[in-house]
């Protein structure tokens, strides 16, 4: 007898092979059989007739550390079919940090994460992983975040890692890998990671290469003069060449100017495929020369982040308390307002407050910065500074999507084309906090499997492979991502005809339809579309 028996479904095993009608038997945490089990019985029977059975989805890019600690049910992910999340992205996370640094930095990045419990031990990757092991609904993978490495060596300062500080950084990375991290991450659009130069990143990459781990990177958007290459992408490729590390470039796809990272500007109807082809030309050349690099993307035309990422380096230097002091200083604040006006111009007004930490300014959630500024009688940059100070940085934003449908369609077509590449996978870049959070937190995977697959004619088997075995292989997540005997029983049962996202920018906290059942390590976490309360996720690999 099986503990869980899934009968009569079309099994898409995650390898990219065509689906076949068969059964799946689960015992304990693992898959015991994928074959005709018509005479078998199970303690928990799932009738999958007319449904698709596939591996649990692996979200290769998440910002959910605090969300999982504050609400371990994590329904937004598990009801999308996500059974494993990769944490520590963009160089932003909590470990390894001393108690004082943990409290300081968790406040600095709270616009993305919200505030986690402040009394947790985050002094090591091992301690970090333990906070999630068998305590939340999804499996978690840890990366060693570059920002924590810098804070633990030279503090939140605009200085270079050299000498003994660099040696200490190497030891931190090595210890993190030994304690179960899958690699390291950096986000060169966030401080203090953006204070680094190419040499520092190459040296850290060498540790990753020796361990056959992975180096996840968001390309540089600040301090480009610190790169020994011409631009952010060229720097990423140089790091890969010189270090020999396996590189992974996060949320990398073409968007129109003002809609987020990796921008291209055009006054005419955008040919995103042509722009993507041009963007990938240099990368493909580097791959042909031996650079080992992969990518992830999500199917939306704009992003979400924290207003602290809009700060210049000199203003962020010193961390949370120093930033708050500068925001409260008239002359320093005036310099920042001038910088914001010159750098961002009018487009910054289209930004929307997605998350406000206190009740005092809660009415701003869902309001554009232009409208919020008008209501408060301030310019947009002045309003941004005022809210950051009042909220003590605990506030987040969504970048408004393009107003023209043609841009949406062009971006979606471009992402579908990129997903034809075998080196692309899916990372939602989930930021699930705030009443008006980005809809990707509730919709990424069903959006691709639903409306976009049906409109663009993308293969279901290919999309499932990009969501499962591709991420497992790249991040070293063992025995997951493929439905076969001996692998862990992370399984999704979905209706391929019905599945769709319902979350929108206007109403983002809406669950999808068509995800019927989900198991995590053999336990049923979603039953007929509803969470069961089971918290079977483990710290992996």
Q: Which residue has the higher pLDDT, 57 or 349?
A: 57
Q: Would you state the pLDDT for residue 229? A: 85
Residue entry with tokens 């108690």: 99
140 pLDDT higher than 90:
yes
The whole-angstrom separation of Cα 150 and Cα 143 is 15
Environment class of residue 430 by beta-carbon count within 10 Å: exposed (0-12), middle (13-18) or buried (19+)?
buried
The whole-angstrom separation of Cα 305 and Cα 221 is 14
The whole-angstrom separation of Cα 188 and Cα 236 is 10
Q: What is the mean pLDDT of residues 190-210?
A: 97
Give Cβ neighbours of residue 417 (< 8 Å, ≥ 6 apart): 273, 276
Q: Which residue has the higher pLDDT, 278 or 312?
A: 312
The whole-angstrom separation of Cα 355 and Cα 306 is 9
The whole-angstrom separation of Cα 541 and Cα 524 is 21
Q: Would you state the pLDDT for residue 407? A: 85
53 pLDDT higher than 80:
yes
Tokens found for residue 418: 């990129």
Report in angstroms the alpha-carbon separations of 264 from 180, 257, 258, 425, 428.
38, 6, 9, 22, 21
CATH architecture assigned to 57-303+402-444: Alpha-Beta Barrel (3.20)
The whole-angstrom separation of Cα 67 and Cα 431 is 9
Under a CB-based contact definition with an 8 Å cutoff, are residues 360 and 389 in contact? no
Provide, rounded to the nearest whole percent, the portion of the chain with pLDDT above 70. Answer: 96
Under a CB-based contact definition with an 8 Å cutoff, are residues 98 and 123 in contact? yes
Binned at pLDDT 50, 70 and 90, residue 231 comes out as confident
Provide, rounded to the nearest whole percent, the portion of the chain with pLDDT above 90. Answer: 87
The reported pTM is 0.95
Task: Name 215's bridge partners.
Answer: 184, 247
Give Cβ neighbours of residue 304 (< 8 Å, ≥ 6 apart): 112, 354, 396, 397, 398, 399, 429, 431, 437, 438, 440
Sign of torsion over alpha carbons 227, 228, 230, 232:
negative
Range of weakest confidence among 118-122, 348-352, 402-406, 451-455: 402-406
Give Cβ neighbours of residue 391 (< 8 Å, ≥ 6 apart): 356, 357, 358, 361
Q: Which phi and psi angles does 97 have, rounded to 5°?
A: -135, 145
Binned at pLDDT 50, 70 and 90, residue 261 comes out as very low
Q: What is the SS3 assignment for 131-190?
A: CCCCCCCCEEECCEEHHHHHHHHHCCCCCCCCHHHHHHHHHHHHHHHHCCCCEEEEECCC
DSSP string, 386-443: HHHHHTTT-EEEEPPPPS-HHHHHHHHHHHHHHTTSTTEEE---B---STT--THHHH
Q: Which phi and psi angles does 123 have, rounded to 5°?
A: -80, -10
Binned at pLDDT 50, 70 and 90, residue 321 comes out as very high
Tokens found for residue 119: 């009394």
Q: Would you state the pLDDT for residue 479? A: 98
Q: Which residue has the higher pLDDT, 488 or 413?
A: 488
Tell me the per-residue pLDDT of 147-191, one tens digit each, with 9 for 90 and over. 999 999 999 999 999 999 999 999 999 999 999 999 999 999 999
270 pLDDT higher than 80:
no
Q: Any alpha helices (H) in 7-87, and if so which ranges?
A: 65-70, 75-78
Q: Which residue has the higher pLDDT, 224 or 152?
A: 152
Q: Would you state the pLDDT for residue 275? A: 67
Q: What is the SS3 assignment for 290-358?
A: CCCEEEEECCCCCCEECHHHHCCHHHHCCCHHHHHHHHCCHHHHHHHHHHHHHHHHHHHHHCEEEEECC
272 pLDDT higher than 70:
no
Q: What is the mean pLDDT of residues 523-541?
A: 97
Q: Would you state the pLDDT for residue 348? A: 86
Nearest to 326 by CA among 339, 315, 310, 318: 315
Average pLDDT over the chain, rounded to an integer: 94
Q: What is the mean pLDDT of residues 520-528?
A: 98
Q: Would you state the pLDDT for residue 266? A: 44
Tell me the per-residue pLDDT of 414-437, one tens digit each, with 9 for 90 and over. 898 899 999 999 999 999 999 999
Q: Would you state the pLDDT for residue 315? A: 97
Provide the residue ranges of all domains of the chain, joining segments of one domain with +: 57-303+402-444, 310-398
Tell me the per-residue pLDDT of 85-139, one tens digit each, with 9 for 90 and over. 999 999 999 999 999 999 999 999 999 999 999 999 999 999 999 999 999 999 9
262 pLDDT higher than 60:
no
Q: Would you state the pLDDT for residue 313? A: 95
Give Cβ neighbours of residue 75 (< 8 Å, ≥ 6 apart): 137, 511, 531
Tell me the per-residue pLDDT of 342-386, one tens digit each, with 9 for 90 and over. 988 777 889 999 999 999 999 999 999 999 999 999 999 999 999
Tell me the per-residue pLDDT of 302-320, one tens digit each, with 9 for 90 and over. 999 999 999 999 999 999 9
Binned at pLDDT 50, 70 and 90, residue 259 comes out as very low
Q: 230: how many CB neighbours lie within 10 A of its CB?
A: 11
Q: Would you state the pLDDT for residue 256? A: 57
Q: Report the run of H or E that residue 524 belongs to, with start and end.
A: strand 523-527
Q: Would you state the pLDDT for residue 257? A: 52
Q: Would you state the pLDDT for residue 273? A: 64
End-to-end, the C-alpha distance of the chain in Å comes to 28
263 pLDDT higher than 80:
no
The whole-angstrom separation of Cα 423 and Cα 465 is 11
Q: Would you state the pLDDT for residue 410? A: 86
Q: 241: how many CB neighbours lie within 10 A of its CB?
A: 16
Q: Residue 68: helix, strand or coil by DSSP?
A: helix
Tell me the per-residue pLDDT of 4-26, one tens digit each, with 9 for 90 and over. 999 999 999 999 999 999 999 99
The whole-angstrom separation of Cα 399 and Cα 505 is 10
């Amino acid at each position: 007898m099986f503990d869980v028996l899934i009968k009569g479904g079309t099994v898409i095993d995650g390898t990219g092979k065509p689906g076949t009608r068969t059964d799946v038997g689960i015992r304990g945490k693992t898959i015991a059989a994928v074959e005709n089990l018509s005479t078998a019985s199970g303690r928990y029977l799932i009738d999958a007739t007319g449904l698709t059975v596939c591996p649990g989805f692996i979200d290769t890019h998440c910002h959910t550390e605090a969300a999982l600690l504050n609400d371990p049910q994590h329904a937004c992910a598990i009801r999308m079919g996500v059974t494993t999340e990769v944490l520590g992205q963009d160089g932003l996370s909590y470990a390894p940090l001393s108690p004082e640094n943990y409290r300081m930095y968790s406040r600095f990045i709270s616009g993305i994460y919200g505030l986690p419990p402040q009394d947790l031990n985050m002094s090591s990757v091992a301690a970090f992983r333990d906070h999630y092991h068998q305590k939340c609904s999804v499996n978690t993978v840890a990366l060693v975040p570059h920002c924590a490495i810098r804070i633990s060596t030279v503090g939140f300062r605009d200085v270079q890692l050299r000498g003994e500080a660099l040696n200490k950084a190497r030891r931190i990375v090595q210890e993190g890998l030994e304690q179960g991290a899958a690699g390291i991450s950096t986000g060169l659009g966030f401080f203090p990671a953006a204070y680094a130069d190419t040499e520092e990143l190459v040296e850290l990459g060498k540790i990753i290469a020796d361990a056959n781990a992975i180096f996840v990177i968001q390309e540089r958007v600040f301090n480009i003069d610190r790169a020994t290459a011409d631009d952010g992408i060229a720097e990423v490729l140089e790091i890969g060449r010189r270090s020999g590390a396996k590189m992974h470039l996060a949320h990398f796809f073409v968007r129109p100017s003002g809609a987020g990272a990796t921008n291209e500007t055009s006054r005419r109807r955008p040919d995103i495929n042509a722009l993507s082809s041009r963007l990938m030309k240099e990368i493909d050349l580097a791959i042909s020369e031996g650079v080992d690099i992969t990518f992830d993307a999500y199917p939306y035309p704009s992003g979400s982040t924290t207003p602290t990422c809009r700060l210049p380096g000199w203003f962020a230097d010193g961390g949370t308390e120093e930033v708050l002091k500068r925001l409260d200083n008239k002359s320093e604040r005036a310099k920042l307002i001038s910088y914001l006006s010159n750098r961002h111009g009018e487009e910054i007004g289209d930004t929307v407050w997605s998350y406000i930490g206190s009740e005092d300014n809660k009415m701003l959630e869902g309001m554009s910065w232009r409208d919020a500024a008008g209501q408060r009688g301030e310019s947009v940059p002045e309003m941004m500074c005022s809210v950051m100070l009042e909220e003590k940085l605990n506030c987040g934003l969504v970048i408004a999507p393009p107003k023209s449908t043609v841009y949406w369609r062009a971006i979606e077509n471009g992402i579908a084309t990129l997903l034809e590449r075998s080196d692309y996978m899916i990372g939602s870049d989930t930021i699930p906090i705030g009443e008006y959070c980005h809809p990707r937190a509730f919709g990424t995977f069903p959006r691709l499997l639903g409306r976009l697959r049906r409109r663009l004619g993308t293969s279901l088997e290919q999309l499932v492979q990009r969501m499962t075995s591709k991420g497992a292989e790249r991040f070293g997540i063992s025995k997951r991502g493929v439905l076969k005997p001996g692998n862990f029983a992370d399984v999704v049962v979905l209706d391929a005809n019905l599945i769709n996202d319902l979350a929108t920018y206007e109403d983002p906290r809406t669950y999808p339809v068509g995800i019927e059942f989900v198991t995590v390590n053999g336990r049923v976490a979603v039953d007929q579309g509803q969470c069961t309360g089971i918290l079977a996720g483990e710290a992996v690999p």
